[in-house]
Amino acid sequence: MTPSSTNNTAQLRQNVRYLGEILGQVIQSQGDAGLFDAVEAIRLQSKESRDDDNQEALRALLTELNDKQILDVARAFSHFLNLANIAEQHHTVADYSQTFFSAAASLEGAFRQLSADHETHRVHAVLKKLSIDLVLTAHPTEITRRTLIHKHGEINDCLTRLETLRDNPAETSRDYGRLKELVSQIWHTEEFRTERPTPIDEARWAFAVIENSLWDAVPQFLRVVDDVCERFDLPTPPPEWSPITLSSWIGGDRDGNPNVTANVTREVLLLAQWQACTLLEGDIATLYEELSITTASDALKAQAEGALEPYRFVLKPLRDRLQAQRLHIEKTLEGELEGPPPLTMSEVIAPLEACYESLQMVSLGVLARGCLLDTLRRAHCFGPYLIQLDIRQESARHTQAISELTEALAVGNYQDWSEHQRCEWLRAELHNPRPLLPRDWNPTPETQEVIDTFFVIAETPQSALGSYVISMAAEASDVLAVQLLLKATGCGTEMLVAPLFETLDDLESAPRVIEELLSDAAYCARCDHQIMVMIGYSDSAKDAGMLAAGWAQYSAQEALLKVCKDADVKLQLFHGRGGSIGRGGAPAHDALLSQPPGSLENGLRVTEQGEMIRTKLGLTPLAVNTLGRYASAILQANLTPPPEPAKEWRLLMNQLATDSCEDYRRWVRDEPSFVPYFRQATPEQELASLPLGSRPTRRRSDGGISSLRAIPWIFAWSQNRLMLPAWLGAGSALAKAAAGGHEATLKTMAQKWPFFGARLSMLEMVFAKSDLTIAELYDRLLVTSELANLGAALRQQLSDDRSVLLGILETETELEHDTWGRESIDLRDIYTAPLNLLQAELLRRQRGNPDKATERALMVTIAGVAAGMRNTG
């Protein structure tokens, strides 16, 4: 059986079936016919209906397996899911699905709509201001090894060639053989790291994504923009137009992660620069070979001092400089040399621009707009430092540092001061020209580490850095404290200091805090009348539930926009979204168009996290299409903003937020059995011991839910298919509103208000991925009888909430109008369900009689279920 040319999801299913058959052949080739027969019997049983009897039949097949078979069956189904995901990713970028997913289609659709409603010059003006800043972050639920990710990418390439060259038997035969090789390699490769990755490992992983995908995706995306502009008679963007920025938290995010130290940050910055030099050096070497021509402008000839090959003459010093910088960095990393002298953006850009301008002047634009233009655009985007590294630290660490400092200065204990006292002292010291840090000061190791981080910032070129993010920010003093520490360590005031408002209370206080900061003319001058504010999606949802948190995020953005507009200050909103619904995840286009009007005026800055980096940016075509969806949504939002919510909708949304928060907290905070139930019904305890990321799963080891990070909180619930953080509280609030006579208003809001419609769409997706039968099985195997009633009540709540949602949407099943989404879930669920059942059994065994073999099989099921659920953390 081979991939056919059948269109749409039929083609996807054919590819999934074909890859599955190859995996089956690999398993059979090991001579274990029993394993293949067991896998096939389990797969066929899983395809049957999802009633309780069928689930028991499936479980009966699984319980017959011995320890070795359990591991191999878990590996088989986990690999099936990864192969299915590869086929689905391929489907989204293949020619036959271009209408739905491609960057060209996204931008053409946006331009067509905007050109019909607006004059061309307005569309062009908004395009010129386009800004997309993707902030890559490490993810403790991304557990796929880099070597496997590379093989997955090769499988995608094979599928592409098979469909492109299907009429060339010799070529297709070669690719069929290569597919079998790759699947066999995957089956015989260890799936997991044996040790937890370091922040350096995580940084290398992110840089590999840039090298293998984004390095080509950025210029390809910009060429798509060029083509669309030409089609719609808009001016083609100039070479220096650089709407894409790549930033990172990896190696800079020390919030609750003791493994990220000042030395680690310094090393990551060097590694990023090394990667940039290596990639640019390769590009310049290619240009050097290609630009052997002798025709040049007088200006370039003068610069080349009469050389026969002027372009090579101009490019050679840049090639040599990049090589020397790369070698110096290597010796620095080996401890043989001090850090290299800065390599500036102008050093990289100037020779490339000189060549480009010369070729244009002598009517060789076809050469100027070839690989030279791509290199020039890469240089503008990535520069000599590859990424801009953000630094993140928790506000309490700054408070501790300032407190130790004030005590050393004998002016009191800063921690004991009121907010007013803190701000007065901080503002006075920001104006004081004398050095602040005493020469004989001996701070605690924790504070010394904070100060050392600021010294790393001081020694780093500003263009290699992004913003300084303060997590758990709550007051103006949190921002002023960081500004003072920057000043005290010689960093200057150029670095943007971004408070991150995370909890419900902090989001509600955010406008007041920013207004207080902007009331100080000196503050506005220091930040050059532009500020960045980060909106936290993860912790606010964990704190208050997804519906209340979503409304708090929307309201905070609205109020912040007004505060900054009144103060004549430019506001850059920074969205800390994750992949899952409980962390602000949603389809990119819909999520952006559901934000408040004006919120994208200064561009988009958003976190891209872990497995979502791989899903959205891991392959060049995927990355190009992701950029296209972001760009089209930003253009639409800025030229045709979403409607302001009607007064009636605001009032009802306020009540929905209040009711949903109360119900969510009633379960999570007030129910004394909730935490014990959570730890029994999910693999939360086991996640902490698995080598999934450099950052601990908890901020503190002695806390309950409040100390647990949002990512493992959501990840654990997705494993047992209850998906609780993504829906709890929302359905009961909707039911109360509908029963109170607001059903018609809810339906109108769903249809006419993008914010509310997007929330209901997210709920619909969550309910489609949940599985009450599987959740009940986890309870039956893992939860004590004293807690069983709580699990039953939560499952009943989910069932009731689902009915309420379908009533408002006026549909009979989830995703009734999204056949692609429904197909995608159903396709993977055949393989996910057996892994869920295996996982529940393995958790029971591991908690009763732990051993390494069971732990490894458990890891495989966790990875497999994560692959099946896709946006899990």
* Number of C-beta neighbours around residue 687 at 10 A: 20
Tell me the torsion sign for CA atoms 683, 688, 693, 698.
Answer: positive
The label of the residue with tokens 């490490």 reads: 138
* Beta-bridge mates of residue 698: 708
Q: Residue 247 corresponds to which tokens in the numbers above?
A: 């930033």
Give the separation between CA 292 and CA 310, rounded to whole angstroms.
Answer: 8
Is 627 in contact with 104 (CB distance < 8 Å)? no
User: Which residues are CB-neighbours of 83 under 8 A, at least 6 positions away?
Assistant: 16, 19, 20, 23, 155, 183
Q: Residue 347 corresponds to which tokens in the numbers above?
A: 């050093």
**Which amino acid is it at 68?**
K
Give the separation between CA 69 and CA 79, rounded to whole angstroms.
Answer: 15
Give the separation between CA 612 and CA 704, rounded to whole angstroms.
Answer: 27
Confirm whether 487 is a catalytic residue.
no
The label of the residue with tokens 């379960």 reads: 667
User: Which residues are CB-neighbours of 786 under 8 A, at least 6 positions away?
Assistant: 673
Confirm whether 139 is a catalytic residue.
yes
Give the separation between CA 314 and CA 136, rounded to whole angstroms.
Answer: 34
DSSP 3-state helix, strand, coil percentages of the chain (rounded to 5)?
A: 70, 5, 25
Give the separation between CA 330 and CA 309, rounded to whole angstroms.
Answer: 32
User: Among 90, 139, 575, 742, which one carries the catalytic annotation?
Assistant: 139
The count of C-alpha atoms lying within 13 angstroms of the C-alpha of 688, restricted to the half-sphere facing its C-beta, is 13
Give the separation between CA 301 and CA 282, rounded to whole angstroms.
Answer: 25
The count of C-alpha atoms lying within 13 angstroms of the C-alpha of 515, restricted to the half-sphere facing its C-beta, is 12
Look at residues 89, 203, 12, 236 and name the one whose alpha carbon lies nearest to residue 624: 89
Give the separation between CA 528 and CA 518, rounded to whole angstroms.
Answer: 11
Give the separation between CA 860 and CA 690, rounded to whole angstroms.
Answer: 11
Supply the DSSP string of 307-339, one letter for each residue: -SSHHHHHHHHHHHHHHHHHHHHHHHHTTSSPP
* Number of C-beta neighbours around residue 34 at 10 A: 11
User: Among 79, 90, 151, 542, which one carries the catalytic annotation?
Assistant: 542
Q: Nearest 5°: CA angle at 177, between 175 and 182?
A: 90
3-class secondary structure for 527-560? CCCEEEEEEECHHHHHHHCHHHHHHHHHHHHHHH
State which H helix or E strand residue 606 sits in: strand 604-609
**Which amino acid is it at 340?**
P
The label of the residue with tokens 């409980």 reads: 582
- In angstroms and rounded to an integer, the radius of gyration of the C-alpha atoms of the chain is 28
- The length of the chain in residues reads 873
Give the separation between CA 36 and CA 24, rounded to whole angstroms.
Answer: 7
- Active-site positions read 139, 542
